[in-house]
A and B are shown apart, each in its own frame.
Chain A
Amino acid sequence: MTTLTAPPAAARAAAPAVRRRSPLAWARERVLLVVTVAIFVFMLLPNAVILWMSFNKPSGKFNYVWNHFSTSAWTNPCAQAGMCHSIGLSLEIGAVATIVATVLGTMIAFAMVRHRFKARSGINALLFLPMAAPEVVMGATLAAMFFNTIGPGALGFWTITIAHVMFCVSYVVVTVKARLAGMDPTLERAAQDLYATPFQTFMKVTLPLVAPGIAAAALLAFALSVDDYIITVFTAGNLETFPMYIWGSVQRAYPAQIDVIGSMMLLGTMAIIATSTILGRVRAARK
């Protein structure tokens, strides 16, 4: 970078507009662009590979190396015993954990933004720690507690769900808090000036304004829950969620169907983003 630090004196004397367009600055900008594009390729390459490999007919048990084109994995996504069942289980746990975590987290966020009370920093620390603690520590300590209280045999759906709610709550609080803190408080005061009861104000003014934040928080909690492996494996007992199924597949056989599910997740996310962008544009155009 040292070669870039000293533009010639002549260039300095020139008008600012000329200095901005000097070839050096242009090259430097292109370096940044090239580096950024390369890193984006690094970040997006696995998704492209998953999509590509979902159309593969693997030569052996493991769908790691390209063999030849086939759509059989897409036409029979549930061909592997147990896979779709494990997906169903993950979705069920994700739905329950999301609802509970979103309700608990939203309540905490309202209390934190709208009320003054003591022990604030202690509560902040309690909310921050689950995001900061290594997952394996949370999983192991929770497993230790369950072993000591209800015994290893009782692990299952509810212990997984309890664990997922635990690590999702903090993320919900952060997301909803951000939305609440950015809200204009005068709107609620206006509603109260117009003789709305606190309940009416909450239902007709506050909730619709915070709703996008709550929706984003719920989406985040669902994504975290469905994708979790480490904490789940410590609290699952004999159940097998989808991440645990994938983990097991690395040892047994890795079918192309897993790549099909991976591609569906990507395409689904892109569809949701595209829809919400278009809806946002339409709404903006109406205004």
Chain B
Amino acid sequence: MTTVADPSVGKAERKAVPPDHKPRRNLTPWLLLLPGLIWLTVFFLIPILTSVSASVQTGNYDDGFKLTWHWGNYAHAIKDYGTQYWHSSLYSVLTTFFCLALGYPVAYFIAFKGGKWKSLLMALVIVPSFTSFLIRTIAWETILADQGPVVHVLKSAHILSVTQALGWTTGGHVINTPAAVVCGMVYNFLPFTILPLYTSLEKIDPRLLEAGNDLYCSTFTTWRRITLPLSMPGVIGGTLLTFIPAVGDYINAQLLGNPNTGVVGQKIEDLFLRQTSGYPVGSAISVVMMVGTLVLVMSYIRKAGTEDLL
């Protein structure tokens, strides 16, 4: 996200504190750190712990909830929502894949062919994010409408009958189908893939690519042997920044999907806000989801390192 501030700072970001900046043994850093860290502890870390306790409670809103160590909530959380777990995983994996496939060429083009248009093109990637993402997601209702040009083209090219056979679309519609959900998710998360990709591609010295060419590498080999390995931090960061929010996303499934595209997030919201005794099971589901995501994040962090991703 550093590019939002100023694209030029990315290069200097990792420059270490100069050696003549002597370590100071005083309280200043802690005075600076404490207010923010206390805020994050109280409103981020402790809630996660409370929700673990909430996940083994029983009760309802009228009589209150009691900690009864009711582990059966987890049995419910895992068994009853199998379809939703499957949908969340499938849609987020597909989204991450398509975001990488679409984001890489764009980031590559801006970084190496952008020239003096670099910052304008990066601004074009970011500018849509300043319009409410809900309004932009709902705009796909218009784009993918049954009478719209997109559906017309897909129908006349017989693509719609293929996707229908595969179960991606239903009944001659594109809107309110799994295909629309994934399309909306790719659209929403693409900037999150492009930004870290661009940051790492932009750092690559173009002379390295010239050297590859001079040594009779084809453009593809140059990309595979030089560009791709050097851009791996961006690939890892970009896929991570896309996959994690995509797992929890239920906006697209709700707005662009149908009752058969249910995802985990919808169930959590429903259990918390609309069912009188649903919140322990809702907490159990979010704990399951959190642990699952955390395992993935940790294995990724081991690969890339926290400082690199920040």
Contacts and interface: CB of A to CB of B under 8 A. Distances in A.
A253 to B, nearest CB: 13
Interface in A1-46: 1, 4-7, 12, 16, 25, 28-29, 32-33, 35-36, 39-40, 42-46
B136 A262 contact: yes
A135 B248 contact: yes
Contacts of A239: none
Interface string B87-122: 000000000000000100110111001000000000
A148 B54 contact: yes
Nearest to B191: A43
B124 A44 contact: yes
Interface in A144-161: 144-145, 147-148, 152
Interface residues on B, range: 35 or more
B39 A104 contact: yes
B41 interface: yes
Contacts of A65: 142, 145, 147
Contacts of A179: 5-6, 9
B279 to A, nearest CB: 7
B247 interface: yes
The dominant DSSP class at the A interface is helix
Contacts of A166: 39-40, 43-44
B220 A261 contact: no
Interface string A161-190: 011011001110111011101100100000
Contacts of B36: 104-105, 107-108, 169, 173
A117 to B, nearest CB: 5
A178 B39 contact: no
A129 interface: yes
Contact of A126 (B41, B130, B133, B140): B41
Contacts of B190: 39, 42-43
Given A147-B279, A162-B43, A246-B138, A108 B37 contact: yes
B299 interface: no
A128 B309 contact: yes
B128 interface: yes
B219 interface: yes
B29 to A, nearest CB: 4
Contacts of B10: 178
A93 to B, nearest CB: 14
A140 B282 contact: yes
A247 B134 contact: yes
Nearest to A183: B12
A123 B44 CA distance: 13
A217 interface: yes
B175 to A, nearest CB: 9
Interface stretch (B156-164, B227-235, B267-275): B267-275
Contact of A145 (B51, B264, B309): B51
A114 B16 CA distance: 10
Nearest to B26: A115
Nearest to B250: A136
A134 B293 contact: yes
A259 B142 CA distance: 12
Given A132-B244, A269-B127, A181 B109 contact: no
Contact of A33 (B41, B109, B137): B109
A182 B12 contact: yes
A136 B4 contact: no
B78 interface: no
Given A43-B187, A136-B269, A265 B134 contact: no
9 contacts: A4-B218, A35-B105, A36-B105, A104-B39, A142-B43, A175-B1, A181-B12, A182-B12, A212-B6
Given A115-B28, A133-B290, A230-B269, 5 more contacts: A33-B109, A111-B33, A114-B21, A127-B310, A136-B250
Top 8 nearest A-B pairs (CB, nearest first) are A134-B248, A182-B12, A115-B29, A46-B139, A111-B32, A104-B36, A141-B47, A262-B135
Interface of B: 1-2, 4-6, 8-15, 17-18, 21, 23-24, 28-30, 32-33, 35-37, 39-41, 43-48, 50-51, 53-54, 61, 65, 102, 105-106, 108-110, 113, 123-125, 127-143, 145, 147, 187, 190-191, 213-214, 216, 218-221, 240, 244-245, 247-251, 255, 264-265, 268-269, 272-273, 279, 282-283, 286, 289-290, 293, 297, 306-307, 309-310
